[in-house]
């Protein structure tokens, strides 16, 4: 797929400068002039609601370099992410409704145009570079929050290599950020597309079927297994189309196209509330907000990306 990397969170060409991560002196030299992205409870700081809000290394919320994650070089300027810990807003967050939270949270020490946003709610508004930086920051910081202890011996591990590794001082085992591969499938049969919805999804929300790849399984085998398990549909030829980092919390979505060999649907009620074949014409109506059942897809997600390009006949 020639335009694969135009998907949200992909294709910005960020220089991650991995060769600099191991050098403490190099990091120390970069820090004074760095841009620091604060992240609070997984929410990146935004300026004006549509671009990342950076702070200088001297700002109190930038913290210390030792706890910051080096994201890379953006036009030769070092960019770090810092987890904002220990701060609670005066008004607690309201429970999120649906798949993302549109509320914002402001810190009293920051300018009025700076606020923490749920990344799902703003991902389609960000530039490719900002989206990649925000996704990387959220995923790596979440990994550190949930993997603070050695999986081999249980001892508390230390963050090393500018945030891209954890080292166990007790047994010397090294741990690296995890990424879980997930297949998401555009399954067609003639002019029809297979769509499904989960039991807890908002009314009218349908998407492509998806599932985690199991150990010892190829991408193609995972596509066929997941589709059959969830819908009873047999799949023949499978092609890879595009991928998307999905930092909720740490997945890599592998977008594939598959040709259905059968049509009768038998859903797994534990996985799906409904699954149906949708014609190209009905999908056009859904994306225009005119379908009686299916609502427009969520912009920014790879499912929306794949379906849009299927409708426009731009998958090759």
Q: What is the DSSP pairing of strand 180-189 with strand 251-260?
A: parallel
CA distance 16 to 284: 39
Q: Helix, strand, or coil here: 194?
A: strand
Structure tokens at 50: 């549509």
What whole-number percentage of the chain has pLDDT above 70? 98
> Which residues are CB-neighbours of 3 under 8 A, at least 6 positions away?
309, 314
- Tens of pLDDT along 235-280? 999 999 999 999 999 999 999 999 999 999 999 999 999 999 999 9
User: What was the pLDDT predicted at 97?
Assistant: 62
What whole-number percentage of the chain has pLDDT above 90? 91
CA 174 vs. chain centroid, Å, equals 25
User: What was the pLDDT predicted at 96?
Assistant: 64
Structure tokens at 66: 């030792």
Structure tokens at 42: 């997984």
Longest dimension (CA), the chain: 62
Chunked into runs of 10 residues, the chain (316 residues) has average pLDDT values of 90 94 94 98 97 97 97 97 93 69 92 96 96 98 97 98 98 97 98 96 96 98 98 98 96 98 96 97 96 93 96 92
- Cα angle: 140, vertex 134, 40; to 5 degrees: 75
- Tens of pLDDT along 281-308? 999 999 999 999 999 988 999 999 999 9
CA distance 194 to 209: 8
Topology of domain 180-311, per CATH? Nucleoside Triphosphate Pyrophosphohydrolase (3.90.79)
User: What was the pLDDT predicted at 289?
Assistant: 94
Q: Helix, strand, or coil here: 19?
A: helix
Q: Determine how many CB atoms are found less than 10 A away from the CB of residue 259.
A: 13
C-alpha pair distances (Å), 124 with each of 19, 24, 49, 121, 314 = 31, 35, 11, 8, 20
Report how many helices (DSSP H) and strands (DSSP E) the chain contains, helices first: 6, 17
User: 21-60 as b/e, with b when 16 or more CB fall inside 10 Å?
Assistant: beeeebbeebbeebbbbbbbebbbbbeeeeebbbbebeee
Domain segments of the chain as ranges: 4-146, 148-178, 180-311
Q: Determine how many CB atoms are found less than 10 A away from the CB of residue 133.
A: 25
H-helix or E-strand spanning residue 252: strand 251-260
User: What was the pLDDT predicted at 81?
Assistant: 98
CA distance 269 to 271: 5
Looking at the chain, list the stretches that DSSP marks H as alpha helix, in order from N- to C-terminal side: 24-30, 119-122, 128-146, 219-231, 280-287, 302-311
């Amino acid at each position: 797929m020639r335009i694969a990397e135009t998907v949200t969170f992909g294709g910005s060409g960020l220089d991650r400068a991995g060769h600099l991560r191991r050098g403490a002196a190099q990091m120390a030299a970069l820090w004074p002039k760095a841009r620091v992205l604060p992240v609070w409870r997984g929410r990146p700081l935004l300026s004006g609601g549509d671009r990342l809000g950076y702070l200088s290394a001297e700002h109190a919320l930038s913290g210390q370099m030792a706890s910051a994650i080096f994201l890379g070089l953006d036009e030769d300027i070092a960019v770090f992410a810092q987890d904002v810990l220990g701060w609670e807003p005066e008004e607690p967050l309201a429970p999120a409704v649906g798949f993302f939270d549109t509320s914002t949270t402001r810190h009293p020490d920051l300018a009025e145009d700076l606020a923490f946003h749920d990344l799902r709610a703003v991902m389609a508004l960000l530039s490719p570079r900002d989206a990649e930086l925000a996704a990387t920051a959220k995923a790596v910081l979440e990994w550190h929050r949930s993997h603070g202890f050695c999986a081999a011996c249980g001892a508390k591990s230390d963050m090393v290599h500018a945030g891209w590794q954890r080292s166990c001082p007790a047994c010397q085992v090294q741990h690296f950020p995890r990424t879980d591969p997930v297949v998401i499938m555009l399954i067609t049969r003639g002019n029809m597309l297979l769509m499904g919805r989960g039991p807890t999804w908002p009314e009218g929300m349908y998407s492509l079927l998806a599932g985690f790849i199991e150990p010892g399984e190829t991408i193609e085998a995972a596509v066929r297994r997941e589709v059959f398990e969830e819908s009873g549909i047999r799949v023949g030829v499978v092609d890879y189309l595009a991928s998307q980092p999905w930092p909720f919390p740490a997945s890599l979505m592998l977008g594939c196209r598959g040709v259905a060999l059968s049509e009768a649907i038998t859903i797994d009620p534990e996985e799906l509330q409904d699954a149906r074949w949708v014609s190209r014409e009905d999908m056009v109506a859904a994306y225009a907000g005119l379908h009686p059942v299916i609502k427009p897809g969520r912009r920014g997600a790879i499912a929306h990306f794949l379906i849009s390009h299927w409708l426009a006949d731009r998958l090759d």
